[in-house]
Structure 1
Amino acid sequence: MGFLRKLFLSHWSTEFRCVRPAITIQNGHLKAVLDDEKENTFGIERLFKLFLVLSSYVFPGLYIRHLSGKFGLLPRKICLEIYVILKLITPIIIFKCNIEDSIFAIILISYLLLETLLYLLSIIFLSDIYSPPISKKRSYLMLVINYIEVCLGFAVLYKATGGVSDLVSNFDAVYFSFITATTIDYGHMAPIGHDAKALVIIHSMYNFIFIGLILSNFAFNITYKDGTYRVKANKDKPEMVDIEKQ
């Protein structure tokens, strides 16, 4: 047991970090957007940011953070990771049980995909009020898991709608979904009908958001082991900056 604790938790297993209740934090985010203390937003941007903050109240992620946070920061992080993994394997379970055509499966997958979409948009548009991630590399890994989750989720929807030509098996649906996400030519498979084409368009928008997140939030903010990071200078060559001196 001690080995497993050290394997998964490292030195975190001996620390307890108290955290504020997640719902209280989210209420603070809502107040920050309403008061607009940091940025002078207006119009569509302001309404969209309010929508993103309010949308978190209708998804389980916020309440999982709130309940698990009572036991400290580490349990909250671990419970969120478990929740993300459960979202990842949900499409696999649906395929294994052959219930992808059921209304329940379609609604469940659509609900989980919507939660993931709004979470990704929140990372982009609410970055001014959200706290920085505890680990940027962990955030990047979670983003990869979200990407796989989205592809598997859309695979369920493609199979359920039956709007893709020559899509016979579950693996065909997974293949078509990942090919759509990477914008590679489909080959002999192609969406037919308005429903399938609409799904492909929505799926492509998800991929666009993923690319934007990677480029804007992760690719240019890699922290290196020696305590330095690269910043874009006015020269052709990147400049090395010492964090401790800043």
Structure 2
Amino acid sequence: MAFIKKLFLSQWSTDFRYVKPAIKNQNDHVKQVWNDEKENTFGIERLFKLFLVLSSYIFPGLYIRHISGKFGLLARKICSEVYVILKLITPILIFNFNLESSPFSILFISYLLLETLLYLLSIIFLSDIYSPPISKKRSFLMLVINYIEVCLGFAVLYKATGGVSNLVSNFDAIYFSFITATTIGYGHMAPIGHDAKALVILHAMYNFIFIGLILSNFAINITYKDSSYRVKDNKNSPRKAD
């Protein structure tokens, strides 16, 4: 037991640490956006921020954080990670049981992808009201997992539409999805149906948001343990490089 604790928690204390109930906290966020005392937004930006902050109520992530938060901060963080991992393996399970053509699977994957998309947008547009991450590197790692989840989720949708040429196996669908995400080029595979082309457009826009905005937003905030990136001024006093 001590080994498992050391493996997963390192030196993190297992003592109970109170956290504000997630639903109550989200209600406060709605009030903050509505009153808008910090940024004084207007027009389409204000409407979009209201949409983002209200959309959390229709996804399970908020309620998982609310319930697990009753057991403290550590329990809430661990349960949030488990939920992200479950979202990651859901497309794999769908492929494993050949359920990609099921209407329920298509709707469920679309629902999960929408939740992830709105979460990523919230990181950008609601950064002024959300608390900073407990660990920036942990947040970056979670984003990488989200990226893989998105690619696997779109793979299910590509396989379900059947509108991609030479896409035969499940691995073909996964390959096509990751190639679309990295914009390398399709080679012998290409979308030929209208549904598949619409998915490719949506996927490309999705990854523009993900790679172009989210990853760059976190990359500039990575800090380093040593002083390798420090320079000295004329007075030989250390200062951080710009």
TM over 0.5: yes
TM bin, normalised by shorter chain, reads over 0.9
1:229 offset after TM fit, Å?
Answer: 7.4
Q: What is the CA–CA distance in structure 1 between the aligned matches of 2:58 and 2:230, rounded to whole Å?
A: 39
C-alpha spacing 1:124/1:5, structure 2 compared with 1 (3 Å): same
Q: What is the CA–CA distance in structure 2 between the aligned matches of 1:114 and 1:180, rounded to whole Å?
A: 18
Which residue number in structure 2 is paired with residue 244 of structure 1? none
Ranges of 4+ aligned residues in structure 1 off by more than 3 Å: 226-231
Opposite residue 101 of structure 2, the aligned amino acid is D
Opposite residue 214 of structure 1, the aligned amino acid is L
Q: What is the CA–CA distance in structure 2 between the aligned matches of 1:157 and 1:126, rounded to whole Å?
A: 29
Which residue number in structure 1 is paired with residue 9 of structure 2? 9
Opposite residue 28 of structure 1, the aligned amino acid is D
1:206 offset after TM fit, Å?
Answer: 1.2
CA contact (8 A) 1:29 1:53 kept: yes
Q: TM-score, normalized by length of structure 1?
A: 0.92
Which residue number in structure 2 is paired with residue 57 of structure 1? 57
Superimposed CA distance per residue, residues 69-121 of structure 1 (whole angstroms, 9 cap, x where no aligned partner): 00000000000000000000000000000010000100000000000000000
Q: What is the CA–CA distance in structure 1 between the aligned matches of 2:61 and 2:130, rounded to whole Å?
A: 15
Which residue number in structure 1 is paired with residue 127 of structure 2? 127
1:228 offset after TM fit, Å?
Answer: 9.1
Q: What is the CA–CA distance in structure 2 between the aligned matches of 1:230 and 1:126, rounded to whole Å?
A: 32
Aligned length: 233
C-alpha spacing 1:163/1:46, structure 2 compared with 1 (3 Å): same
C-alpha spacing 1:230/1:31, structure 2 compared with 1 (3 Å): farther
Which residue number in structure 2 is paired with residue 18 of structure 1? 18
CA contact (8 A) 1:164 1:190 kept: yes
Opposite residue 203 of structure 1, the aligned amino acid is H
1:225 offset after TM fit, Å?
Answer: 1.3
Q: What is the CA–CA distance in structure 2 between the aligned matches of 1:23 and 1:179, rounded to whole Å?
A: 38
CA contact (8 A) 2:14 2:74 kept: no
Aligned residue runs from structure 1 range 24-39, under 5 A: 24-39=24-39
Aligned residue runs from structure 1 range 1-246, under 5 A: 1-211=1-211, 212-215=213-216, 217-226=217-226, 240=240
Q: What is the CA–CA distance in structure 2 between the aligned matches of 1:230 and 1:172, rounded to whole Å?
A: 47
RMSD over aligned CA atoms reads: 1.5
1:178 offset after TM fit, Å?
Answer: 0.0
Opposite residue 57 of structure 2, the aligned amino acid is Y
Ranges in structure 1 where 5+ consecutive residues have no aligned partner: 232-238, 242-246
Ranges in structure 2 where 5+ consecutive residues have no aligned partner: 232-238
Opposite residue 148 of structure 1, the aligned amino acid is I
Q: What is the CA–CA distance in structure 1 between the aligned matches of 2:198 and 2:34, rounded to whole Å?
A: 34
Opposite residue 184 of structure 2, the aligned amino acid is I
Q: What is the CA–CA distance in structure 1 between the aligned matches of 2:153 and 2:28, rounded to whole Å?
A: 32
More off after superposition, 9-18 vs 31-40: 9-18
- Report percent identity of matched pairs: 81
Q: What is the CA–CA distance in structure 2 between the aligned matches of 1:10 and 1:185, rounded to whole Å?
A: 42
Q: What is the CA–CA distance in structure 2 between the aligned matches of 1:143 and 1:209, rounded to whole Å?
A: 12
1:210 offset after TM fit, Å?
Answer: 1.1
C-alpha spacing 1:228/1:55, structure 2 compared with 1 (3 Å): farther
